[in-house]
């Protein structure tokens, strides 16, 4: 794939160049122990562990036993605002990474 084609693919996303440096967030697949043991609370800033750049950074709005409702405010490449995700897909932002974002 040449550079022009890569740029065209990137530009087809609703938010191709997010304002945050999402590439600094660690990628954590849902089957990793860290993802399964992760705890988040309402109002906490979180991200989508398997692919941080897709959804971006969001705030936890509500939770159930299995799911978390997150308002990503369109901060990721996909431009997602509110999404319901299973708990193991949502991770708190590491405190040491917050100032870098």
Is residue 59 predicted with pLDDT exceeding 90? yes
Q: Higher-confidence residue: 6 or 77?
A: 77
What six digits make up the tokens of 50?
């398997």
The model's pTM is 0.79
Candidates 2.30.30, 3.30.1370, 1.20.120, 1.10.10; correct CATH number of 3-100?
2.30.30
pLDDT band, residue 64 (cuts 50/70/90): very high
End-to-end CA separation in angstroms for the chain:
30
Distance of CA 31 to the CA centre of its chain: 16
Q: List the structure tokens of 58.
A: 């969001």
Comparing 57 with 7, the larger pLDDT belongs to 57
Burial pattern 71-81, b for ≥16 Cβ within 10 A else e, equals: ebebbbbbbbe
Q: What's the token pair of residue 29?
A: 């697949």
Q: How confident is the model at residue 11 (pLDDT cuts 50, 70, 90)?
A: low
Domain-by-domain residue ranges, the chain? 3-100
pLDDT band at 3 (very low <50, low <70, confident <90, very high): very low
């Amino acid at each position: 794939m040449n550079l022009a084609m890569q740029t065209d693919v990137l530009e087809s996303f609703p938010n191709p160049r997010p304002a945050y440096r999402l590439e600094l967030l660690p990628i954590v697949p849902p089957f990793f122990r860290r993802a399964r043991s992760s705890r988040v609370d309402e109002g906490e800033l979180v991200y989508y562990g398997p692919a941080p750049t897709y959804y971006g950074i969001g705030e936890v709005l509500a939770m159930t036993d299995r799911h978390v409702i997150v308002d990503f405010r369109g901060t990721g490449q996909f431009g997602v605002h509110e999404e319901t995700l299973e708990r193991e897909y949502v991770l708190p932002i590491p405190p040491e990474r917050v100032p870098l974002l």
